[in-house]
Amino acid sequence: TKEFQGKKALVTGATSGIGRAIAVKLAEAGATVYATGRRAELGKETVELIERAGGTGHFVVADVANLDEVRRLAAEVGEVDVLVNNAGVFPSSPTPEQSRHAYEQIFDVNVRATYFLTAALVPAMVARKKGAIVNVSSMAGQIGTPESSVYNASKAALDSLTRSWAVEFGAAGVRVNSVAPGLIRTDMAVHMVGESFEAFSRSTPLARAGEPEEIAEAVAFLASDRAGYITGAVLLADGGYVAT
């Protein structure tokens, strides 16, 4: 039988890029996947990809920048075995020019949504004494960069939550880990990094950008029973970038 057979997973930001790849990977491995995001037509595409891969998927629309929507999402999906907090935004700006709106948007989506979605779904995991949570952070949480201080801080905050939650829920058998991607070939990254994307890719030790499927593989591992003794970990999947 498949590794995630009989398990239910919720993946945020599953209408594109890394989140979509995670949703498809977990569904291929047997999970019933609840994919969520803002745009129904893209969510429908994710469900189609899941079904084409022989899996079972559902799409639930939610804008996780809105806390009421986060809570409604949790209530609508109900108990899950696996929660992947992947939705994220990356507007960059030099610090003196950062708008309050952009600052709040980054923290609302990257941190607050993760915080309250987890808070809503973890009690059922604790009660059943099993569950796995994976936060998709970033190597950006471990390094400095010139124009994305808020994003970097939000990703460091996610890794901190991972460690605290691993401690808080460990006794109940709930594992919490981060996957910290490096430069991954998604629309978001190609758009944000722009012309220097290829040069940046070549500058990593593996001399290329990563693929969304390679991040999905790391997330699926940490969400699976194969990672049974791993909690509170931050798994870099960055082609060696932070090692340089």
Active site residues: 151
Stretch that binds ligand NAD, among 11-19, 117-125, 166-174, 196-204 (CB under 6 A): 11-19
Residue 136 vs 174, nearer CB to ligand NAD? 136
Alpha-carbon span 177 to 140, nearest angstrom = 16
Among 35, 65, 133, 150, which residue sits at the site for ligand NAD (rule: CB under 6 A)? 65
Tokens in use for 154? Answer: 């939000």
User: Per-residue x/- mask for ligand NAD, residues 178 to 197, rule CB under 6 A?
Assistant: ---x-xx-xxxx--------
| Residue 114 interacting with ligand NAD (CB under 6 A) | no
Q: What are phi and psi of 90, to 5 degrees?
A: -140, 55
Residue whose C-alpha is closest to residue 84's, from 33, 11, 19, 21:
11
Residue 57 vs 88, nearer CB to ligand NAD? 88
Tokens in use for 81? Answer: 């075995």
Residue 19 vs 57, nearer CB to ligand NAD? 19
Residue whose C-alpha is closest to residue 26's, from 59, 60, 62, 50:
50
Alpha-carbon span 72 to 57, nearest angstrom = 19
Residue 79 vs 214, nearer CB to ligand NAD? 214
User: CA Rg, the chain, in Å?
Assistant: 17
Stretch that binds ligand NAD, among 63-71, 75-83, 119-127, 161-169 (CB under 6 A): 63-71
User: How many angstroms separate the Cα of 108 from the Cα of each of 88, 135, 176, 181?
Assistant: 9, 15, 20, 20
Contacts to ligand NAD by CB under 6 A: 13, 15-19, 37-38, 63-65, 86-90, 109, 136, 138, 181, 183-184, 186-189
